Amino acid sequence: MNLLEQRYRSVLRLLPASYRAEREEEMVDAFMELSGEAPDEANPRPRWGEIASVLSLSLRVRLGGPGASPRLVAWGEAVRLVALLGLGYQAVASVIQFLQWGHALAFGTDVAWTGTPGSVERLVSTAVSAADLCSAIAFVAIMRGHVRTAKVTAVIGVSAPLIYTLIPMILAGPLTDRPLSEPATLVFTAAPVIALLMGFHSDITPRRRSWAATLSPPAAGLAVLGGTWLVVALRPYDLDWPYLWLGFGTTILVWAAGAVVVLARRSSPSWALAMTATGLLLLMVRLPLLENLPEGASWTMVCAQCAVLWTLSTALAWVGARGLPGASGTAPVTSKVGEGSV
């Protein structure tokens, strides 16, 4: 074995062991044939393009591409479900924002934009708010099987809010001195888009879902906004804790209900793992709120929400880990994304 072959085999260690067991010799022969005669004295190395192709292949296989083991297929499906669940949440937020705009225009109330009318700050704030609506487009696109459109609009949807949040954080001083809620919000916003970009790769055929399922987040957004307006209209000023179940608190309730369903029905490990990931993301955002609340009913309520998120996430992780197939063996990808039962 010459030096170049040794280095090719080292690069191929990036691939899962189960995949290398079947394809390593074939891939090494192909690389060596393309490289031609390369004496050790010339200190030959794999080309950067070849290394990049192996990295890309490794990512696709580890996320359920052709030739992946059943265990990796399950992990890939979990990543794609995280993308769908996260984009669904962002779509609901976009719909709520759109409805609030309509309410403001209809009744002449203020819209939550910063800066005075005509200022650069107001222009930037408006652009960020408009970019948020792209998240709803991204969710509809991926639910209907249009991966490229979903990726482009999802990146646009989170880029402006992330930049708008990150720049003040950097200008305000070291990130270590900032509240934990700020980096937690950044991760919570970016994680579904990263899962979308990684999980829905070229070797995956997404499932084309019905319009009823696709339009469920707008319906949920309308219900959440209606409930919020109802609670605000009742004005329970003597109690603060009911407000903790509005907006983000409603998301915790919906997630908890879904987690119970997944646990009760012993769903696929992919669903359990995806719900675990989203639950931990919700916990990461909710937990820093305890730093800003005085002890009392509201503080206790947030503790209860965090306890629910942690308990159900732990149970889901246990169920998901136990349900994962063995690490050995291969399974061709024959089903479309999301066809596992809930």
Structure tokens at 271: 């669903």
Q: What is the pLDDT of residue 297?
A: 79
Structure tokens at 252: 């915790």
* 139: its two tokens: 């969710």
Contact residues for 8 (Cβ-Cβ < 8 A; gap 6+): 27, 28, 31, 32, 46
For the chain, the domains span 3-55, 82-215, 236-342
- Burial letters 264-285, b for 16+ CB under 10 A, else e: eeebbbbbbbbbbbbbbbbbbb
Range with the poorest average pLDDT among 167-181, 186-200, 209-223, 297-311: 167-181
Asked if pLDDT for residue 315 goes beyond 90, the answer is: yes
pTM of the model: 0.83
Give the tokens for residue 323: 């349900």
Q: Is the pLDDT of residue 10 over 90?
A: yes
Q: Above pLDDT 90, what percent of the chain?
A: 35
Task: Determine the Cα–Cα distance for residues 274 and 24; give it in Å rounded to an integer.
Answer: 31
Q: Is pLDDT above 90 for 281? A: yes
pLDDT tens profile 295-314: 777 888 899 999 999 999 99
Closest residue by Cα to residue 3 from 52, 50, 37: 37
* Percentage above 70 pLDDT, the chain: 79
- Lowest-pLDDT choice from 74-78, 126-130, 259-263, 288-292: 126-130
Residue 329, sorted as left (phi over 0), alpha (psi -120 to 50) or beta, turns out to be: left
Of 6-15, 64-73, 99-108, 188-197, where does mean pLDDT reach its minimum? 99-108
Contacts of 228 (CB under 8 A, 6+ apart): 246, 247
> Which tokens sit at 76?
């890939």
Q: Looking at the predicted structure, is the pLDDT value of residue 335 above 50? A: no
